[in-house]
Chain A
Amino acid sequence: MASALINVPARAKRGDIIEIKTLMSHIMETGYRHTAAGEVVPRNIITSLTCRYNGAEIFRADLFPAIAANPFITFFTVATESGKFDFEWIGDRGFTEIASASITVE
């Protein structure tokens, strides 16, 4: 049951610098831990987050085992036009999640 929390301002003035906040539910298992029996717990992390603004990629992050569970990633962009932000998380074991948010630019 993965789920994402996205915070994009609902409206902004053209040219405004806006903050985008993303929170994704994920255990981010490092692959460096062992069970009590000595077996390695296999790595299971998100490896990338991409954000597209009306189709154009504006942000991409690669994630690594040192990042805590439920990664919270924020970044800034310039509000240029009304439309949609599409987010995509990709990870180990075929993990993919998408989410989107709309903005009105005046």
Chain B
Amino acid sequence: MRSGRTIAVAGLLLAADIATSTLSANDIPQGERRSGYSFMSPDTQAIQNDDTTNPGMLWVLDGEALWNSKAGATGKACADCHQDARVSMKGVAARYPAFDKTLGHPVDLEQRINLCRARHQETTPLRYESRDLLALTAFVAQQSRGMAIEAGTDPQLDPFVARGHELFMQRQGQLNLGCTNCHDDNWDKHLAGSAITQAQPTGYPLYRLEWQSLGSLQRRLRACIGGIRAQTYDYGAPELVELELYLMSRARGMSIETPAVRP
């Protein structure tokens, strides 16, 4: 009886806490938010600083070629509708994932590109992590480089941001860890030799030296979820998009770095 009441009271306090404040106790204060870039060695930073040394630019160049190449039954290129990406795609990546009215849920940039392929080019979707999809995504996202992230402001996205937040806080896997246990609580420490960062998704798709390739935020999330020995979500799963959306709204105001370089 007594323990039951304690639990009920604790539950009420928790509910009140969530209701009254979107900032939970362990959120990173706005002024202390740092891009993963600032955790890197000067050598790795130098690779990102120069577009002729940044391997991510290889994908951007490929993406530019794809942007202008015709595809699908309608024989349209991205450029036939969107013209010059430097103008039309400026700021787009800063707003993604965004709500798709037809589907009734948020889609990330990769999914938007594939929706465009299906709806307007009438062709098959590009496979997740395929060179072409990464290249197009990197090319589109690079047009927003230096701009402030503004994802998640659309009120229709609120429930999805909230679910992403829940997933971020939820302990799971054999190691029983939530994202927050490392990336909110311990970001100034190290895990073995590697810096634990704040998980700010400012530079995706990005070139990881470990991958020797460009990779998406979903790939990064799946690697982390595997790392805590939990069941990974499939590429394109709503949970991954919700996590992406939460992370992007958590990083609101930080600058896009695409294509970033990370160790």
Contact = CB atoms under 8 A, between A and B. Distances in A.
Interface of A: 1, 3, 5-7, 21, 23, 25, 28, 68-70, 72
A70 B55 contact: yes
Contact size class for B? 10 to 19
Interface of B: 47, 50-53, 55, 57-58, 61-62, 65, 131, 135, 209, 212-213
24 contacts: A3-B58, A3-B61, A5-B52, A5-B53, A5-B57, A5-B58, A5-B61, A6-B52, A7-B52, A21-B50, A21-B53, A23-B52, A23-B58, A25-B58, A25-B62, A68-B209, A68-B212, A69-B212, A69-B213, A70-B55, A70-B58, A70-B212, A72-B47, A72-B53
Contacts of B52: 5-7, 21, 23
Contacts, number: 39
Nearest to B64: A3
Nearest to A7: B52
A7 B213 CA distance: 21
B55 A23 contact: yes
A49 B62 CA distance: 22
B50 A7 contact: yes
Contacts of A28: 212
Contact of B62 (A1, A23, A72): A1
